Structure 1
Amino acid sequence: MRNISAACAVVTGVCVMLSAAALGERYADGVIRFREHLIARDMVNSIERILRYVVSNQREALRRLPGQPCETVAKELAELKTYVRYVRGVNLVANEHLYCSSALGPMNVALSAYIPTGQCQYGLSLNRGTPYQPDIPVLPVFRPTAPGTGLLYVIEAPYIADVLAHGVSYGAGKVMLSVAGSGSIDEHGVFSAATVASASRSGRGAASADFPFTVTVTASPAFVSQVRWKYGAISCAMGLLLDLLIAAAYLVAFAPRRLLLSAVRQGLGAGQFCMVYQPLVDIPTRRIVGAEALIRWTHPRWGPVTPAVFMTEVESSNLIGDVTRFVLQRTEADMHAMNDNAPFRIAINVAPMDLERKEFVAEVLALTDRLPKSTILVLEITERFLLARNPGVRNVFATLRERGVRFALDDFGTEHSNLDVLGQFPFDFVKIDRQFISQIDKGGEGLIEAITAVAAHYGMQVIAEGVETEAQHEALRRLGISFGQGYLYRRPVSAEEVFSARHASALAADDVN
């Protein structure tokens, strides 16, 4: 009887484990497919913005040119092309033949060499190359102005590949754009013919509603392994430990977090927190024009606690409201204590959960009413995906900007940010992360120039974080970067020291001038 009971227990245990493993595998598959679709949809939206920009920029001026003699309009065509980014060339089409190119002048090439016949509203293709450069993939877009007549834009495929490459940052192993009947291109810019692409396609895709292309994303092996391991472990734990051990696992995992948040709450009431300020410098003159407010915690037993230890947990908890209110109130008091009438920009870091709090807008507006008239409030924000998921954030931006509040995108260039967010939200400043500034005097100027150009396109000013050497300062000055922060200028100090240094920097700048 004992042997039978033991056998039943073993069989029951095996069945539970097999069921738990199957459940974990199924859930992991769902997570992987969802991530693939999310990345694919994000890539589709980004590429659609490029295509819309190409076909709409200088639209009316260009629409007048097809059908006119090339020698008459070649100069105007070449000039208009310079306003259209992403394209190798703009070509005039008449009688289904390309007869004038912004790059090559007169020509005679059949439109079918670029665009297959029978395409929809926007003729779109993906070719291994052109008759003139057969080995460099391009994305031709035909915009008809009359039957057999119109404009052919030839978009450089590397621009598309650069967009697709962003998907790798979010767990994609392979990202491929496909145009039906033409071919495909992946995140490395490698072209595949239509038959090859169809045979090798896997993963999850998303189709454009306006253009005849799809983006297919396959999760990376590392991401798949991580997800499968994670949910496999969870499901096995559920099978083995059931409710009691799951509760124990929860306590083990979250007790340290609760203790930390409890200590933060007590520290706020006990006066353990204070504010320091890192100056913001006008790079050409080294004049201090503002500062970033930074919270500091000195625990009676633990000593100084770096914000990296506690702010991540605070920002994802209900305690974020109390901490943000402390920062706002203390910053206001420090600004009034300085009694300085010169224009000054004070930057405060806010978390995505702050923007979702009902009281946040009212708290910020109250602060702007109480701050000295010469003080400009700047809110620094990170976390692109959390911003994009909450439509109400746009209303917060609009309401606060009407009252003079400015916004900065913090740590631009890290895994939380990319080019899309610049066009989606009206940021006033872009802060380039310190990891890029540290490479600027080691051959990394090109990336800084590119970020500066993108920011200028959207009417934003650039702030360089983490400036630590004179060589970095000089490189930033040559590149035309407006503002900088870093230990080269000054470490975070008290408000009194900031304003003392501000007066000294103003006198030094006046002496130089």
Structure 2
Amino acid sequence: MLSAIDNGIINNEFIPFFQGIYDCEEEKISGYEALIRWKLGDEYLSPAFFIEQLESSGHLSTIVNIIISKINENIEKFKEDTWFSINITPNQIESDELINLLKELNFPLSGRLHFELTERTPITNWEAAKRNIKVLNDHGYYLKVDDFCCGYNSFLNLINLGLTHVKIDKKFIDTIDHNEESILFAILSACQTAKLEVIAEGVESWEQYIKLKELGVRFFQGYLFSKPHIVPSM
């Protein structure tokens, strides 16, 4: 698999797709999450099939570079206030890997890039993470946590990182359909207390949207609003 990933990088087989994020206050798609896909023949594989191998391949910075390049190539197709989210791992934020890449690129898209911290692995060096996040903030970048409450890191430690947004996983959103949303309510209450903006992920019905909006959620991502596309039509 690792050699196939190496070849995929060389052959430009890793393609960013963009899924819109709806802002109910502005009543528009205000940002996009970049979702990497691996093009094999006529198929585009989702990261579920290769993300663990990609993370161990040493190519994560290359993927971030590919995404930033694609955004820059198509920047005129997006409105000026549109922002973009890119997934990163704890290792990228603990090491200087991401900072060094952005420095090489002359800190591109300042004010318009959000980095979503995945929680598949725990943060082990919190001081290094805080230091690098401050560098990101100082250059106009924002930090979010993806799949909030699904990973290894404690709520209080994450708050201390200086994040601005959290993304609530679809499995919590789906509890609305089964009248089992007590955990969702607790998560939203904690986020509101910490003054964190919430993005509800995997929203697929108007019933979910209306309920979440009533609960104070501002941002929504899911097929109800936007499917992933190679370059969104504006």
Q: Same fold (TM over 0.5)?
A: yes
**RMSD between superposed Cα atoms in Å:** 2.3
Where does 1:261-410 land on structure 2 (aligned, <5 Å)? 261-284=2-25, 286-300=27-41, 303-334=43-74, 336-338=75-77, 340-341=79-80, 343-365=81-103, 369-371=107-109, 376-383=112-119, 386-410=122-146
Task: Return the offset for 1:353.
Answer: 2.4
**From 404, 411, 434, the counterpart of 2:170:** 434
Question: Per-residue displacement from partner, 1:16-49 (whole Å, max 9, x unpaired)?
Answer: xxxxxxxxxxxxxxxxxxxxxxxxxxxxxxxxxx
Question: Per-residue displacement from partner, 1:409-466 (whole Å, max 9, x unpaired)?
Answer: 1101214344233333111101111000011232234333322221122221111000
Q: Where do 5+ consecutive residues of structure 1 fail to align?
A: 1-259, 501-513
Contact 1:349 1:380 in 2 (8 A): yes
Equivalent AA in structure 1 for residue 208 of structure 2: Q
Task: Return the offset for 1:296.
Answer: 1.1
Find the aligned partners of 1:480 and 1:429 in 2 and give their Cα distance: 14
Find the aligned partners of 1:452 and 1:427 in 2 and give their Cα distance: 15
Aligned residue for 1:247?
none
Find the aligned partners of 1:306 and 1:453 in 2 and give their Cα distance: 32
Could you say if the C-alpha distance between residues 364 and 421 of structure 1 is closer, same or farther in structure 2, counting changes exceeding 3 Å?
A: same
Equivalent AA in structure 1 for residue 165 of structure 2: F
Instruction: Report the 3-state secondary structure (helix = DSSP H, G, I; strand = E; otherwise coil) of the residue aligned with 2:115.
Output: strand
> Identity across aligned pairs (percent)?
29
Could you say if the C-alpha distance between residues 340 and 456 of structure 1 is closer, same or farther in structure 2, counting changes exceeding 3 Å?
A: same
Could you say if the C-alpha distance between residues 339 and 478 of structure 1 is closer, same or farther in structure 2, counting changes exceeding 3 Å?
A: closer
Question: Per-residue displacement from partner, 1:206-231 (whole Å, max 9, x unpaired)?
Answer: xxxxxxxxxxxxxxxxxxxxxxxxxx
Equivalent AA in structure 1 for residue 98 of structure 2: F
Aligned residue for 2:226?
490
Instruction: Report the 3-state secondary structure (helix = DSSP H, G, I; strand = E; otherwise coil) of the residue aligned with 2:29.
Output: strand
Find the aligned partners of 1:429 and 1:381 in 2 and give their Cα distance: 10
Find the aligned partners of 2:145 and 2:57 in 1 and give their Cα distance: 22
Structure with higher Rg: it is 1
Higher helix residue share:
1
Aligned residues: 234
Superposition TM-score, scaled by structure 1 size: 0.43
Question: Per-residue displacement from partner, 1:273-321 (whole Å, max 9, x unpaired)?
Answer: 2111010101355411101001111123x84322111111111332223
> Larger relative contact order (C-alpha < 8 A, sep ≥ 6)?
2
